[in-house]
Structure 1
């Protein structure tokens, strides 16, 4: 009994600093507020960007994006028709180009807000000061521009390039690891080495992969019900709600990964900032 009690006490002693540190960082980051800010900025950046893509990209790119959005959200019925309508080439070329220019300008203006919000999440997770604008500005643009092809290619990746979901799911997870590993390194201005970023990347990839799979179960019905009840504006609430949940999961995962990488016993393996 004494041996078992001693082992339990050691485990509790090891876990307690991790839980205390994680709680402190989540409170300082204000999880709900940070997730809402990231989700709102993502929505403001992505919706006008969708119109810009519809206006200026080739038909093959628009079709691929439509397939990827369908794969990501499991779109059916009225919701699928709404997306197809946006991405279908309009016969009114002048209006299409005008809406595309407006959408592109709004996307460029709001893009830095999305990147800054995500950058702040990473900095608070690692308790680092804000990066100077001159150092970070190009990183914000590169991060957002890189996300665009990642989203466009979600369709074939999720389908396992024709093999099926059994291959697509691990591929989505592996792509997620790479995206979150690179996201943290880029937005933190390379102030944290690659190995300590791995726990957060693994947790964030697992969370976003799980949510993307469950989105296919919930989102089609929610979107179609909202469309039937409120019209085209009805799509906004389910999409924004999903983005908030996704942002909260990512914020929690990145913060948890940072704590794990800096606290015993994992810090000795990933060369975290703190020694055991």
Structure 2
């Protein structure tokens, strides 16, 4: 037993020494690893994807069902561009977006739409928690007005409506669509962090995270054009409509994981000495005994 304890102590001491050497040689990498552990990236990304699938997607269909035809067509065009919808999946999405009949409209009405909107604010709160953990803001460190959650949802729907137009470069081609999408994604995530953090962090420190997230999600969007159409067609042929649900949920998890890692990486970079002074970033918390929210 004493040998086992001594070996365990030596292993722990060796691990701590290796950590100190790595922090000296590659401080950014070690700080990023520590931040990702504190954010709990897999749990955060999975919860965010589940909230998107269970609350934001139904809100999107409710919005499309009651929106004017021109808005509904634009949304469908954007979904086709973002996910490469075709065949039975495209037909199913079109059916879900059909306007309700008069009886259903009277049954659901404004109250049903408000309930869908309130439920979808769970996504806003999940993104808010992600940003707070990435920036190590303690639980209860800031109070967010509920209107910010609704404003973020409105922004999200507006950005999705423009997805197809931006992806095609306003009809001029992908060569223009990629840089335009990158710029718009940067602005979207820059404003998202500032809005959902309640202005607790200044604009300049939030820029690295916005740039990294925009670049990662733009690259992921390009990959979706190659992967999703084939995956959806294959799973629908084998498992029916249930297969498309698994594919889309899996893709949402990948997107949310990418966003989680990117926002956290941006916060770490902004707090490193070579950028912190220029950006006016808050000092990072290095106390392992006091984890962020």
Q: Judge same fold: TM > 0.5, yes or no.
A: yes
Match of 1:65 in 2: 75
Distance 1:27 1:78 in 2: 41
Contact 2:169 2:175 in 1 (8 A): yes
Cα shift at 1:54? 3.0
| Count of equivalent residues | 263
Cα shift at 1:265? 1.1
Cα shift at 1:267? 1.6
**Gapped regions of structure 1 (runs ≥ 5):** 1-11
Contact 1:63 1:87 in 2 (8 A): no
Distance 2:107 2:145 in 1: 31
Cα shift at 1:15? 5.6
Cα shift at 1:73? 0.9
Answer with 95-104 or 37-46: which moved more.
95-104
Distance 2:123 2:180 in 1: 26
Secondary structure at the aligned position of 1:160 is classed as coil
Match of 2:290 in 1: none
Match of 2:248 in 1: 239
Match of 2:53 in 1: 43
Distance 1:14 1:165 in 2: 43
The normalised TM-score by structure 1 is 0.88
Distance 1:153 1:147 in 2: 10
1:136-172 C-alpha deviation (Å, 9 max, x unpaired): 3221111111111110111111111111100001111
Cα shift at 1:49? 1.3
Secondary structure at the aligned position of 2:130 is classed as helix
Match of 1:266 in 2: 275
Distance 1:195 1:50 in 2: 32
Matched, 1:250 2:259: yes
Match of 1:160 in 2: 169
Secondary structure at the aligned position of 2:240 is classed as helix
Asked which structure has the greater CA Rg, the reply is 2
Distance 1:61 1:132 in 2: 39
Match of 1:190 in 2: 199
- Structure 1 residues 273 and 54 mapped into 2: Cα distance closer, same or farther (>3 Å)? closer
Distance 2:44 2:114 in 1: 25
Answer with 55-64 or 103-112: which moved more.
103-112
Q: 1:144 aligns with which of 153, 175, 178?
A: 153
**Gapped regions of structure 2 (runs ≥ 5):** 1-21, 285-293
Over the aligned positions, Cα root-mean-square deviation in angstroms equals 2.2
- Structure 1 residues 225 and 102 mapped into 2: Cα distance closer, same or farther (>3 Å)? farther
The normalised TM-score by structure 2 is 0.83
Cα shift at 1:105? 4.6
- Structure 1 residues 110 and 213 mapped into 2: Cα distance closer, same or farther (>3 Å)? same
